Every structure is written in C-alpha cells, then in structure tokens.
Amino acid sequence: MPDSLTLSLDAMGGDAGPEMVLPAAAIAAERHPKIDFLLFGDEQRLRPLLDLQPRLKPRARIHHCDVAIAMNDKPSQALRQGRGKSSMWQTVDAVKRGEAHAAVSAGNTGALMAMSRFILKMIPGIERPALAGQWPTLKGQSVVLDLGATIGADARQLLEFAVMGEAMASCLFGLKQPSVGLLNVGVEEIKGLEEVKKAGRLLRELKLPIHYHGFVEGDDIGKGTVDVVVTEGFTGNIAVKTAEGTARMIGTIVRDAMTSSLLSKFGAVLANSAFRTIKSRLDPSKLNGGLMLGLNGIVVKAHGSSDSLGYATAIDVAVQMAKNGLTAKIAADVEEVNALLAQEPGNGITGPAGEAE
Amino acid sequence: MPDSLTLSLDAMGGDAGPEMVLPAAAIAAERHPKIDFLLFGDEQRLRPLLDLQPRLKPRARIHHCDVAIAMNDKPSQALRQGRGKSSMWQTVDAVKRGEAHAAVSAGNTGALMAMSRFILKMIPGIERPALAGQWPTLKGQSVVLDLGATIGADARQLLEFAVMGEAMASCLFGLKQPSVGLLNVGVEEIKGLEEVKKAGRLLRELKLPIHYHGFVEGDDIGKGTVDVVVTEGFTGNIAVKTAEGTARMIGTIVRDAMTSSLLSKFGAVLANSAFRTIKSRLDPSKLNGGLMLGLNGIVVKAHGSSDSLGYATAIDVAVQMAKNGLTAKIAADVEEVNALLAQEPGNGITGPAGEAE
C-alpha cells in the first residue's frame, strides 16, 4: 500500500465532539505528513475549528452531515435515524466507497459496530465481528479480543478471533509471529468451557499459520504472557471493565493516601517523576484505538472519553492497519484456515461459513 | 448458636503448610477466646510447632493423618488417594460428624471442593456449588461469586448464587439487606447472555427476599456499586484473576518507578505512611477466606499462598459464618425462593431441584 493515505473521521463522535477531534487530526497531520483527512460533521461547527489549524487545513476536507448519532442512542435507533446522512454513517461509507483507507470514530460503540457491519459487510469466511483493544502489560502491550461485539462464541468463531487478533498484533507491533493464547479458567487441557477446549484442540492440532501458546488465565493478561488474548465478548467485556475498575480503584486509593498528610504530599512531590513514569505506562491515551475486526474495511473506535492526544493515537492505529494491509491479511489468513479445516473433516466443525450478511 | 465453637483446620494445606497454619491458629486463638481447634495433619510435624504456642496448646487437639493432598493434585486423584485418611478429608469430615462448626483449608481448591461436595452434600434445593470471595472496593468490600466452582450456570443457578451470596454478605458484613447485582455487559435489560437476562427478570419480578439492584458491569465491582456481585464461574474466575493481574502489574510499575532514582526513593520514604495505608486497603491478608457455598456445612478456603495473618483472617470468616448460622440461613432462603418459583409456573424454570448428589 502507498505511503499516502486518506482517513475519514467522524468529527461529531465522542463526549467532547469536534472541539476534541479537530485538534487530534492536527496532531496526526504533524505525525503523518502524507495523510489526508475527510471530516464528517456539522460544517458550521467544523469550519471555524479547522481555521484554527493552519497545518491541517490544506489536507482536510469537510463534508457536511445533518445528523450526529448521540452517545446513548440504541444501535437500532442509530441505524434508522442515521442511515445515509449521519456523520458516523458517512465516515464508514467513505471506506466502502474507496474514498478513505480507514475510518475513525469516538462515537457510540454499538451504533458504530452496527453501521460498520451494515455498510462494509463481513470478510468472507468470518462469521461474527470482534472488537479488539490494546492492553497495557508488564512487557508492553497485548491485543485482547473480543471486548463485547459478539456475546457468546463457538469454537469456530474463537478460531476466527485468533486469526484476526494475530493479524492485528502483527500489523500493530510489527511482529512476524505474535503468540496467541485462549483465555480460560486454567491452563490444563481438561479445564473450562466446552467451546474453549474445542478451539484449543483445533489450534493445537491443525497446522494453522498461528503461533498458538495454549490457554492463559486472567492474570496472564497483565503479565503479557502472550501477544494476543482470545475470548468471547461477554467474558472479554467483563475482563476489560474489571481491569479498568481495579486500576481506577487503586488510583483513587493512592491519590487519597498521598494527599492525606503534609509529609506524604511532600513525598509525592519528590517522587513526581516516578509518578509521571507510572502514568505514562498506564496512560489510556497511549493505548487508544479499539479495532472492529472481521469487516471488509478498517474501522477504529476511539474511546468515547478520548482527549485529542488519545484520539491521535487511535488515528495512529488506523494508519498502521491501513499501511500494513490488515483487511487483506485477515482475508488471506481465514482462507488458509478454512482450507485446513476442510481437509480435516473429523474436527467437528462445518465447512467455511458464507458471508454473514 | 453458642459463642463457643470448634473449628477444624487442615494443617497440611497451603504452600507453607503447618509452619504457617499453627501460628495462624495461635493468632485466631487470641482473637477468639472461646474457640477450640482440631488440627489435622502429620503429628510429628505438628507437635513441636504446637509446643511453641503455649496459649493455643490447651485449646487445640492434633489428629494424625498419614496423607497430605498436594497443591497440584487433580481433584479426582485427591479424592481417590485422600479419601478417609488425608488431612483435608478429615478436616471436612469433622464438620460432617458434628465435631466442628466449620472447616478451614489453604489446600488445593479443586480437591477441597470435590471432597467437600462428596462429604457434606449439597443443601437441598441448591443445584451447584459456588466459590465466593471478598473483593476490595472503594466503599470497603463486596462479595463476588462464583469464582470458578461452577463453569456455566443457567438462570436458576444464578438465582441460587444470588441467594447464597446475599446470605454470606449479611453474615460477613452484618448487613440486614445487602444489595445484589448480576454481572453483565451492560445495565440495560436487553443486553447480555440469555441466562443472565432471564435471571435478571426473575430477580425483578418474583417477590424474592433479596434487595436486587439490577445488572452491574465489570467496573462496578471495584466501585462497590453493590454488596454482592453474581456471575457464573467462568466469567467470575477470569474477572478475579484479571483484577489480581492488573493490581500486580500496577504494583510492579509503581515499585520500579519509585526506586528508579534517589529522589523518588527519598519521596517514597516520606510517603511511607501513605503507602502503608494503600497496602492495608488492598492487603490480601485482610480479605482472605473464600467460601464454598451451597454445601451442608461451612468450608472456608484460605489462599494457597496465605501467610499466618491471612490464614487467621480466613479463620475469622469461618467464625462469622458459624456464629451467624450461614448454612441454616441459606437453606431457609432457598426454600422460600423455591416456594415462590413454584407459585409462578410461567417463569420458565422447573420446580425445586432435588439434592444434586
């Protein structure tokens, strides 16, 4: 793929909307000199904000949209009201039309997933989509999926998630062979849910083009035991929110304790650079950019509460994926997996799935 | 129930074994002047350790057992080899025989669950057991279950978990009406797994003797949104281990950062009392004591890596449960629930279950 790319941005998405997205695009424009931007949203609000960004301006085009999807709209409602004319729809549709190489939105996750599926359709051979995120670990970061796009998954879908997560990790971290683990309640082969055990058996026994590590447990995620952690959306969503809640709880306790006395406050000032290191290693703005996997096109979901720096990181992810040809890689990998599955009729899994929609 | 209780302790369980358990019993003996102890294990190892604890000695009886269950034995193997003669078996059997009011072990979780189920049997009306733990929150602590005893649970079992968790929280925290939440991927009624939605409907619509809050998400656990968080064992196990992994990761990052320069080290010394506060609020030894719920008797699982202080906390939990009549409370509550379920034939749940074994 060429160095020069075009990204479409949903300028209305996120808690902070255009006032956050446009400065983010300006940061990204600095970081990536060969990238152009399509900005979808309310022109009256976007125009003066773009005028404030002289370096972005010559490389960005505003496309007016009448409708903005609210953060709490139901996906079905968003599809109905936002079809065709909302900034979110137009942002994704630009990828479909071939006008952009990737789309980024900080809007309503459910609505973005529903629209993206509707517009882009699934990659042939992939049954269900997954939302993948980056997870800070002791070794750096890992990809974890599914974070809630697909509630419940059978062995075949877990296999597809493994293929998609592996493709994302290799594009994102530049790894030749990222290691992949299946999230389970124990590392022994006899433990866990039937579908997880079956997926584990397939990953071990079929000669898939995947470096399969085996089962991993909840505490392996933070350790960074594998590059890619695979689970279905119910467990994945609860795991990621539990981790967020734990980090927030510890953060609050630390802050309360450090400001509880003059001495501890003084200590906190002296240890300030240490706190900055800690913050930077856990900083959500450095890990922003969930990926909607399984679609015929690249859609990056920035966190709803992103600031401009966080949103710029989500743009970085979109750039990495587009440059490294994520969609083509997944399509090729899944074709290979389906060919292997077809050669082993005794695997208890039916032939390759057609396009889901 | 009388103030005077007898507890049976598996003196061989845990990574550190008798050298950890006996000092723990001594701490508990100080805290609870009216409690006697039955110590099961290798008499040759236990006798000299007991001689070192002059206050515990007159209130403890050693019962020699030839076999100790290893921490990594498979449950089936442990049942076969440890039946009748192992310290773990004898510890639980003392409750069955009516010689002890509650049992405590830091041994192999799977083996302890298998033996406890085999020896004590389930409370009539409860289908599957649950392992419940205490979770540190911003408000104090909550009960979370199931942490891995029952992989996959239907709506009826989730209802039973709610009843059992509520009984535990009221015995443990002294609350009249602990609030109960169902763990889900969203708080709206339309979201999540079928069985979770069905359990939620029953908890809302039946007039159960439970203060049902509604769905909670992963980040609500650390917030302390409810006193009792209910989920099935696969998700619960992954949630608790993910939280442990996150806390450990943050702890490591903080320690590394605080010792990275002379200035930050100096700051850390000044903020020492703050760090002590943080540690005490997150200290696992203050939250030790998982409960095996649903059995005809009280079995407390101390963490395998417990130190004596942690194990003493597990003993505290056993004392609280025995004093407050946990087993009778669960039996009465579940009978009430079953009566209500029987009155509502349209609830999609079959009549009360018989004893599972």
Q: Would you place residue A353 in the very low, low, confident or very high pLDDT band (cuts 50, 70, 90)?
A: very low
Residues of A within 8 A of B278 (CB-CB) are 250, 253-254, 257
Which residue, A60, A87, A120, sits at the end of a domain?
A120
Q: Are residues A11 and A70 in the same domain?
A: yes
The answer to whether residue B344 sits within a structural domain is no
Q: Between chains, do B278 and A253 touch, taking CB under 8 Å as contact?
A: yes
CB B318 within 8 A of CB B297: no
Domain co-membership, B268 together with B300 = no
pLDDT at A269: 76
In the three-class reduction of DSSP (H, G, I as helix; E, B as strand; rest coil), residue A152 is classed as coil
DSSP single-letter state for residue A286: G
Q: Is residue B11 in a domain?
A: yes
Q: Could you give the CA distance from residue B249 to residue B242 in angstroms, rounded to a whole number?
A: 10
pLDDT at B221: 95
Beta bridge partners of B105: B301
Least confidently predicted of A112-121, A177-186, A200-209 = A200-209
Interface size between A and B, measured as CB pairs under 8 A:
196
**A352 pLDDT above the threshold of 70:** no
Inside any domain, residue A311: no
Q: What's the pLDDT tens digit per position in A285-313? A: 667 789 999 999 999 999 998 899 999 99
Token output for B71: 């921490």
pLDDT digits (tens, 9 = 90+) for A15-34: 999 999 999 999 999 999 99
Q: What residues have CB less than 8 Å from B64, skipping those under 6 apart? A: B41, B42, B43
Which residue in A233, A245, A277 is closest to B222 by CB distance? A245
Judged by CB atoms closer than 8 Å, whether chains meet at A237 and B185 is answered as: yes
Q: What is the CATH number of the domain that holds B262?
A: 3.40.718.10
Work out the pLDDT band at B347, boundaries 50, 70, 90. Answer: low
Q: Return the pLDDT at B357.
A: 34
Q: What is the pLDDT of residue A275?
A: 72
Q: Which residues contact A353 (CB under 8 A, 6 or more apart)?
A: A125, A126, A127, A156
Q: What is the 3-state secondary structure (H, E, C) of B284-304?
A: HHHCCCEEEECECCEEEECCC
The model's confidence at residue B283, banded by pLDDT at 50, 70 and 90, is low
pLDDT of residue B260: 76
Shared-domain flag, residues A101 and A164: no
Q: Are residues B149 and B222 in the same domain?
A: yes
Q: Does the pLDDT of residue A235 top 90, yes or no? A: yes
Whether B291 maps to a domain, the answer reads yes
pLDDT at A196: 96
What is the rounded average pLDDT of the residues A259-271?
Answer: 76
Contact yes or no for B219 and A242 at CB 8 A: yes
Confidence of residue A284 (pLDDT cuts 50, 70, 90): low
Classify each residue of A136-171 as buried b or exposed e, where b means 16 or more C-beta atoms within 10 Å of its C-beta: bbbeebbbbbbbbbbbebbbbbbbbbbbbbbbbbbb
Considering chain B, what is the average pLDDT of its residues? Answer: 90
User: Does pLDDT of A351 surpass 50?
Assistant: no
Tokens, residue A289: 């950019």
B184 and B101, same structural domain?
A: no
A261 contacts in chain B (CB < 8 Å): 273-274
Each residue's pLDDT tens digit, B187-222: 887 788 999 999 999 999 988 889 999 999 999 999
Q: E strands of chain A, at which residues?
A: 5-10, 35-41, 60-64, 102-105, 130-137, 140-145, 179-183, 211-216, 228-230, 290-293, 299-301
Main-chain phi, psi angles of A161, to 5 degrees = -60, -40
Task: Report the candidate in A126, A91, A94 with the shortest Cα–Cα distance to residue A107.
Answer: A91
Distant-in-sequence, close-in-space partners of A68: CB < 8 Å, separation ≥ 6: A12, A13, A17, A41, A42, A86, A87, A88
**For a pLDDT cut of 70, what percent of chain A falls above it?**
94
pLDDT at position B356: 37
User: Does residue A263 surpass a pLDDT of 90?
Assistant: no
How large is the average pLDDT for residues A228-256?
A: 90
How confident is the model over A98-111, as pLDDT tens digits?
999 999 999 999 99
Whether residue B226 sits in one domain with residue B183? yes
Average pLDDT over residues B319-348: 87
Q: pLDDT-derived band of residue A345, with 50, 70 and 90 as boundaries?
A: low
> What pLDDT is stored for residue B348 in this prediction?
59
Residue B354 covered by a domain: no
- The answer, yes or no, to whether residue B276 has pLDDT greater than 90, is no
Residue of higher predicted confidence among B14 and A279: B14
Assess whether B136 and B278 both reside in one domain: yes
Residue B337 lies in a domain: no
The number of angstroms, rounded, from the C-alpha of B13 to the middle of its chain's C-alpha atoms is 16
Q: Which of A120, A143, A166 is the endpoint of a domain?
A: A120
Write down the pLDDT at residue B254: 79
Identify the residue with better confidence: B179 or A339: B179
Nearest-by-Cβ selection for A248 from B222, B231, B257 = B222
**Per-residue pLDDT averaged across A270-287, rounded?**
71
What per-residue confidence (pLDDT) applies to A349? 62
Rounded to 10 deg, the angle between the A262-270 and A272-282 helix axes is: 70
**Radius of gyration of chain A, Cα coordinates, nearest whole angstrom:** 21
pLDDT number for residue A251: 83
B100 within a domain of the structure (yes/no): yes
The pLDDT, as a whole number, for residue A341 is 85
Per-residue model confidence as pLDDT tens digits over A312-333: 999 999 999 999 999 999 999 9
> Domain residues for B79?
5-127+284-329
**Domain annotation covers residue A13:** yes
Q: Which pLDDT does position A356 carry in this prediction?
A: 37
Domain shared by A114 and A143, yes or no: no
Predicted confidence band of residue B271 (pLDDT cuts 50, 70, 90): confident
Q: Is the pLDDT of residue A1 over 60?
A: no
Q: How far apart are the first and last CA of chain B?
A: 28
- Which of A63, A93, A120 is where one domain is finished? A120
Across the interface, of A243, A258, A263, the residue whose CB is closest to B243 is A243
Question: Are A100 and A84 part of one and the same domain?
Answer: yes
Say if residue B83's pLDDT is above 60: yes
The number of domains in chain B is 2
B293 beta partners = B130
Tell me the chain A residues in contact with residue B217 when contact means C-beta distances shorter than 8 Å: 237-238, 241
Q: Are A37 and A112 within one domain? A: yes
pLDDT of residue B12: 97
Mean pLDDT of B310-316: 95
**The residue type at A184:** N
Higher pLDDT, A342 or B53: B53
| Interface probe with A: pick from B74, B217, B241, B259, most Cβ of A within 10 Å | B241
Judge if A34 and A147 occupy the same domain: no
User: CA A340 → CA A145, A166, A183, A336, distances in Å?
Assistant: 23, 17, 23, 6
pLDDT of residue A121: 97
Which of A138, A235, A258 comes nearest B271 by C-beta?
A258
- Residue B111 and residue B172 in one domain: no
